[in-house]
Amino acid sequence: MSTVDFLAQEKVWFDKPRYDEAERRFYEHRNGSSQPSQDVGANSILQDIARARENIQKSLAGLKTTLCNRGCSQPLPSRHSQFSASSSTNAADQGEFISRIRNLELENQSLHKVVEDLRAALSKLECRVTVLEKSPATVTAAPAPSVPYTNGTTVQQKTSAPVKEEDDDDDDIDLFGSDEDEEAEKLKEQRLKEYAAKKAKKPTLIAKSSILLDVKPWDDETDMAKLEECVRSVQADGLLWGTSKLVPVGYGIKKLQIACVVEDDKVGTDMLEEEITKFEDYIQSVDIAAFNKI
């Protein structure tokens, strides 16, 4: 339903201002009051509004009738046209369904082909696995050499066929591995000896250190020449004394600063200090001034 039809059917009280005016006049007449002059203009305006509403209602009613007449005069769409439209729509939908079904059939055929190929490959693999599992390990026995005898006849040695072991206890027995183990041990010992000889011929790097010692006397009256002689008297394998000099300490006292080269594996600093401090008449203490690896 359109807006115009709705307004035409709507029953609106367009005459309400007239009734209000009549009611007001009734109560004024009853109370004996006179209407002021200003209300006359307002009443005329209200009457004009009421007339305008009546005209609008009449025009809407006429419009409704016009629309009804026009709707009745137009012919309804024929059933044939409706049927043709619906049949065209159905044909389009049917064509779309048919195309989809064809695509699905093509995909189904391709999938069937792939599945068949996979089954064939799987069957081939199963056959190969069964053949590999069932085929026994063939061992070719070497021909036995003929052994000559003193009577001139040659007798070929009998080759013993591999016999299946029935008991599990015989699995640990190795009838033919003893000679191989002995040969392997001999070869291993020979290689170890060759390696040891080669290593012995190779020159080894000897670790050495350069040490600078400070040897302090008791006082300024100590014979420093005798002190140095005592220090150099300390001899050991891997010890080589170097240059020396006297360094003043204070109050006329001088210390002996002497260098030496030692092999780390043979001579240590503790041993040097212990041997030098044995000369208690000349030497008060020994300190290491410098220590460097060569």
Write the secondary structure of the chain as one string of H (helix), E (strand) and C (coil): CCHHHHHHHCCCCCCHHHHHHHHHHHHHHHHCCCCCCHHHHHHHHHHHHHHHHHHHHHHHHHHHHHHHHHHHHCCCCCHHHHHHHHHHHHHHHHHHHHHHHHHHHHHHHHHHHHHHHHHHHHHHHHHHHHHHHHCCCCCCCCCCCEEECCCCCEEECCCCCCCCCCCHHHHHCCCCCHHHHHHHHHHHHHHHHHHHHHHHHCCCCCCEEEEEEEEEECCCCCCHHHHHHHHHCCCCCCEEEEEEEEEEEECCEEEEEEEEEEECCCCCHHHHHHHHCCCCCCEEEEEEEEEEEC
Chain center to CA of 232: 69
Give the C-alpha separation, 95 to 91, whole Å.
6
pTM for this prediction: 0.34
In a domain, 248, yes or no: yes
In a domain, 51, yes or no: no
In a domain, 253, yes or no: yes
Distances (CA, A) of 206 to 198, 200, 203, 262, 293: 18, 14, 9, 10, 11
Q: Model confidence at 84, in pLDDT bands (50, 70, 90)?
A: low
Q: Model confidence at 248, in pLDDT bands (50, 70, 90)?
A: very high
Q: Model confidence at 176, in pLDDT bands (50, 70, 90)?
A: low
Q: By the 8 A CB rule, do 25 and 54 touch?
A: no
Q: Over pLDDT 70: what percentage of the chain?
A: 67
In a domain, 256, yes or no: yes
Cβ neighbours of residue 15 closer than 8 Å, sequence gap 6 or more: 50, 54
The pair of structure tokens assigned to 129 is 């696995």
Give the C-alpha separation, 275 to 280, whole Å.
11
Q: What CATH number has the domain bearing residue 282?
A: 3.30.70.60
In a domain, 46, yes or no: no
Q: Over pLDDT 90: what percentage of the chain?
A: 20
Q: Model confidence at 140, in pLDDT bands (50, 70, 90)?
A: very low
Q: Model confidence at 146, in pLDDT bands (50, 70, 90)?
A: very low
In a domain, 266, yes or no: yes
Which range, of 80-94, 115-129, 168-182, 238-252, averages the lowest pLDDT? 168-182
Total number of domains constituting the chain: 1
Containing domain of residue 244, as a range?
208-293
Q: Taking each helix axis from N to C terminus, what angle separates 38-73 and 16-31, rounded to the nearest 10 degrees?
A: 150
Residue 157: the pLDDT is 44
In a domain, 108, yes or no: no
Residue 230: the pLDDT is 93
Task: List the one residue out of 242, 243, 288, 291 whose CA is nearest residue 264.
Answer: 291
In a domain, 242, yes or no: yes
Q: Which residue has the higher pLDDT, 269 or 46?
A: 269
Residue with tokens 């003893």: 178
For residue 90, is pLDDT > 80? no
The pair of structure tokens assigned to 40 is 């006359």
Q: Which residue has the higher pLDDT, 282 or 170?
A: 282
